[in-house]
Amino acid sequence: MPGLNPAIRAVTIRALREGYRVIGIRRGWAGLVDIVPDPDADNRENAELLTEGVVNRAGRTGGTFLHTSRTRPSALPRSLVPPHLSDRYTDDINDVTSDVLKNLEFLGIDYLVPIGGDDTLSYAERLHREGVPVVAIPKTMDNDVPGTDYCIGFSTCVTRTIELTHRLRTTAGSHERFLVLEVFGRYAGFSALLPTMAGAADRCVIPEHPFEMEHLVELLTYDRNRHPSRYSVVLVSEGATTADDDGLTFRTDEVDQYGHRKLGGIGDKVSRGLKELAPRYNQGRGINVVNQRLGYLVRSGDPDAMDSIVPMAFGNLALDLIGQGTTGRLVSVHGGTYDSVPLELISTGAKTVAVERFYNSDRLRPRYTSFEQLPVFIMTSGQAAPR
């Protein structure tokens, strides 16, 4: 995830200069689960003492050098319970939070700074309720963490989506086809809406508004026939659904520890619909489709400028709050201004596109009205931050 390493760097350098010792937890919550609270135990796979040298090298790169996982300590399958805890947790699903708290104490953690999306931060909020001093940083490609206009990773996602879409235009235009690109967005359509606003696509379909397949075909055929190179482009959020569908499209039936099945396949469904229905709107002639799931391509590589700058600010803002003795907060952006909100906002549900304000459901495009006093990414109402 682009932006994670710069955030870790910012927290580490500021904390070290203020006299703190900084420990990086490896593999997210999995590291805290697997810690063996024994001074003689080898915990190098679970925690790492961070230095300026380590984070300066990593801070210029994408991803996270501490690695990550989908571990949820409050719902840990028995197969993932570490050996030293196996006699204590024997249920199919286990809440090992009591041992996570012991491990935090063993590591000497005074303040915890988790960086993640709503799943990761939902467990951070649990630890906050258990008395752990937490200051959280929002990170997700979908930009759907409630309480903030911006999440680390979103700008790089938008930038990569625009770049890749423009590259794939050459194939679509050469063959006079529809171009269907499936992008991230389980509950929120920001990562489809913003690139479309930037001119990367003619239409977009988002999770917040079920779409009529036939209507999409009609619009894309109209766009194609008006284009000098006779092609048109649609961005499809992975969580989008058709109006006559019974729900999301999944790749597998496997469910992760947060209760999510892996999304994927709505782009395939849209492509089939376009091929089947296009003759109705193209004088009986069929139109072929270029279909591509962008997936991890948009979260690979180095962070863009925004995701190098914002993580630095978020990391320092987290240390500002710690210096004030203020915890249980989520650092945030509101209307272009850095701020923080109560961490409890994480449990209020995903932030989604306000369809009536920002999405033209008739034209399947972003809604262009007045931009005055709106945030840079035009995603929220710009209202004052909740305190």
Sequence-ordered list of residues with C-beta below 8 angstroms from that of 140, at least 6 positions apart, any chain: 116, 117, 118, 151, 152, 153, 154
Q: Choosing from 34, 99, 118, 142, which is the catalytic residue? A: 142
Distance CA 118, CA 258 (A): 10
Instruction: Give dist(CA 209, CA 360) in Å, integer.
Output: 10
Are residues 144 and 134 in contact, defined by beta-carbon separation less than 8 angstroms? Answer: no
Largest CA-CA distance found in the chain, in angstroms, rounded: 76
Q: At what angle do helices 4-17 and 306-323 cross, to 10 degrees?
A: 40
Looking at residue 348, the DSSP 8-state letter turns out to be G
In angstroms, the CA 105 to CA 90 distance is 24
Q: What are phi and psi of 121, to 5 degrees?
A: -75, -20
Query: Which is it for strands 365-366 and 359-360: parallel, antiparallel or unpaired?
Result: antiparallel
The beta strand positions in the chain, using DSSP E, are 23-25, 47-49, 76-77, 93-94, 115-116, 135-138, 178-183, 203-205, 232-237, 250-255, 261-263, 289-293, 329-334, 337-342, 359-360, 365-366
Residue 120: helix, strand or coil by DSSP?
helix
292 φ/ψ angles, rounded to the nearest 5 degrees: -140, 130
Within 37-180, residue ranges assigned H as helices are 52-58, 97-107, 118-129, 154-175
**Is 304 tagged catalytic?**
no
Catalytic residues: 142
